[in-house]
C-alpha cells in the first residue's frame, strides 16, 4: 500500500508539499489544457505493441485507487509520438469524483470529465521500473477521459463485476477477463493520434517530475452505475474512496502540444 497521503483533510493535496517537497515544483500535474493556447505539432506515429492476445491481469485496491498490473512476459509497450524510445507497461489505474460532474485529473478548457484512466509506462532503456523512476524521462503516462452516460461501456464490465472483491484496502484478485489490458491500454478509438502532450509529474506523492503526459483528446464513456462501483472501495481510513483526483496545478510557462496527424 502506497504512502501516507489522501484526498481530504490534513493529508489532502494542499498539504502534500510539507512531506513531499517535489509536489510544490514547477512541472506538476494535472493541468488545465486550454485548447486556444496549445502549440500544434506533427509527431511520428504513436505505436502500440504487445496489446493483442490475452494477458493475465491482477486488480488491487491500494488505498488510493483501483490498480491493474500484469506479470506476463509479453506486456504492452509504446513507441513513437513525442517519445523517441520504447516505454513498457507497468500498471494502470483510475481517478474519479464524488459525482459524475468531476473526477478527471486533467481538464480540457476547464471542463472536468467523470473519470480518467492512467496507463503508466517506463523507459525500457533503463532496464527496470525502479531504475526508470530515478531519471527525468523515466515515465510516460497515457490519459484517457470518460464521460458518464446511461449506456454501460463493455470494456468495464469485468472490472466492475469484480470490484466488490477488492473493497478492502490491500485486496488483490485475478481478473477473469484476459482481454482487459488490450481493451483499456489501446481501445479501438479512431483517434489514437489525436492527443495533447506535455512535461509533468506523477499526480500523487512523491510527485516526481519525470512524466511525458499523452492525453487523448476524444473522451470515451462509462455508465453512471459502472462509475458508482469505483466509489464503493475503501480508502486507508476505512471510509469510501468517493474521489481521488488532484486539483490542477500551475502550467508555469510550459508548452502543451497537440499532435496533428
Ligand atoms: C495512483 O495512486 C497509483 O496507484 C500509483 O501507483 C501511482 O504512482 C500514482 O497514482 C501516480 O500516478 O499516473 N496518477 S499518476 O501520476 O505510478 C506511481 C502505485 O502506487 C508511482 C504503484
Ligand atoms: Zn493517475
259 alpha carbon to ligand 1 midpoint, in Å?
25
Q: Cα–Cα distance between 255 and 49 in angstroms, integer? A: 28
Q: Cα–Cα distance between 16 and 19 in angstroms, integer? A: 6
Q: Which of 29, 61, 120 to mutate to test the pocket of ligand 1 (most atoms within 8 A of CB)?
A: 120
- Residue 176 has a pLDDT of 96
Ligand 1, pocket residues at CB < 6 Å: 2, 62, 64-65, 67, 91, 93, 118, 120, 141, 202-204
Identify the residue whose C-alpha is closest to ligand 1 atom 10: 204
89 DSSP β-pair partners: 121
Cβ within 8 Å of residue 95, ≥6 positions away: 65, 103, 104, 105, 115, 116, 118, 203, 244, 245
Chunked into runs of 10 residues, the chain (261 residues) has average pLDDT values of 79 96 98 98 96 95 97 94 96 98 98 98 98 98 98 97 98 97 88 96 98 97 98 93 98 97 84
Identify the residue whose C-alpha is closest to ligand 1 atom 12: 202
Q: Which atom of ligand 1 is nearest to the CA of 95?
A: 14
192 alpha carbon to ligand 1 midpoint, in Å?
23
Q: Cα–Cα distance between 249 and 77 in angstroms, integer? A: 28
Identify the residue whose C-alpha is closest to ligand 1 atom 18: 202
Burial class, 159, CB count within 10 angstroms (exposed 0-12 / middle 13-18 / buried 19+): buried
Clarify whether 64 is annotated catalytic: yes
Closest-lying ligand to the alpha carbon of 120? 1
Describe the chain by its helix, strand, coil percentages, rounded to 5: 20, 30, 50
CB atoms within 10 A of CB 66: 23
- Residue 238 has a pLDDT of 86
The H-or-E segment that residue 87 falls in is strand 83-96
Closest-lying ligand to the alpha carbon of 207? 1
Residue 220, phi then psi, degrees to nearest 5: -105, -170
pTM of the model: 0.97
Dihedral angle sign, alpha carbons of residues 242, 151, 68, 18: negative
Q: Which residues surround ligand 2, an ion (CB under 5 A)?
A: 118
- Residue 2 has a pLDDT of 47
**Alpha helix segments (H runs only) across 4-146:** 16-19, 129-132
134 alpha carbon to ligand 1 midpoint, in Å?
15
Closest-lying ligand to the alpha carbon of 202? 1
Q: What ipTM was reported for this prediction?
A: 0.98
203 alpha carbon to ligand 2 midpoint, in Å?
6
Helices (H) and strands (E) in the chain, counts: 5, 15
Q: Cα–Cα distance between 28 and 252 in angstroms, integer? A: 9
Q: Which of 202, 210, 213 to mutate to test the pocket of ligand 1 (most atoms within 8 A of CB)?
A: 202
Longest dimension (CA), the chain: 47
**Active-site residue, selected from the candidate residues 55, 64, 118, 221:** 64
Q: Cα–Cα distance between 244 and 96 in angstroms, integer? A: 6
Locate 127 and state its grid cell: 532496464
3 alpha carbon to ligand 1 midpoint, in Å?
11
Amino acid at each position: 500500500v502506497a504512502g501516507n497521503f489522501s484526498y481530504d483533510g490534513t493529508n489532502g493535496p494542499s498539504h502534500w508539499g510539507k512531506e513531499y517537497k517535489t509536489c510544490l515544483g514547477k512541472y506538476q500535474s494535472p493541468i488545465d489544457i486550454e485548447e486556444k493556447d496549445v502549440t500544434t505539432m506533427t509527431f511520428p506515429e504513436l505505436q502500440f505493441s504487445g496489446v493483442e492476445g490475452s494477458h493475465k491481469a491482477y486488480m488491487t485496491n491500494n488505498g488510493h485507487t483501483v490498480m491493474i498490473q500484469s506479470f506476463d512476459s509479453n506486456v504492452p509497450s509504446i513507441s513513437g509520438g513525442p517519445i523517441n524510445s520504447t516505454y513498457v507497461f507497468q500498471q494502470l489505474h483510475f481517478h474519479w469524483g464524488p459525482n459524475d460532474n468531476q473526477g478527471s485529473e486533467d481538464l480540457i478548457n476547464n471542463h472536468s470529465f467523470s473519470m480518467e484512466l492512467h496507463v503508466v509506462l517506463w523507459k525500457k532503456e533503463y532496464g527496470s521500473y525502479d531504475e526508470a523512476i530515478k531519471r527525468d524521462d523515466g515515465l510516460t503516462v497515457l490519459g484517457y477521459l470518460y464521460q458518464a452516460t446511461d449506456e454501460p461501456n463493455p470494456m468495464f464490465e469485468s472490472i466492475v463485476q469484480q470490484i466488490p472483491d477488492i473493497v478492502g484496502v490491500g485486496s488483490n484478485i485475478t481478473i477473469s477477463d484476459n482481454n482487459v489490458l488490450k481493451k483499456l491500454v489501446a481501445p479501438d478509438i479512431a483517434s489514437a493520434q489525436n492527443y495533447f502532450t506535455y512535461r509533468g509529474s506523477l499526480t500523487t506523492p512523491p510527485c516526481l517530475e519525470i512524466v511525458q503526459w499523452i492525453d487523448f483528446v476524444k473522451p470515451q464513456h462509462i455508465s453512471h452505475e459502472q462509475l458508482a462501483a469505483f466509489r464503493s472501495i475503501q480508502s486507508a481510513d476505512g471510509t469510501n474512496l468517493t474521489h481521488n483526483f488532484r486539483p490542477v496545478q500551475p502550467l508555469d510557462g510550459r508548452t502543451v502540444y497537440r499532435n496533428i496527424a
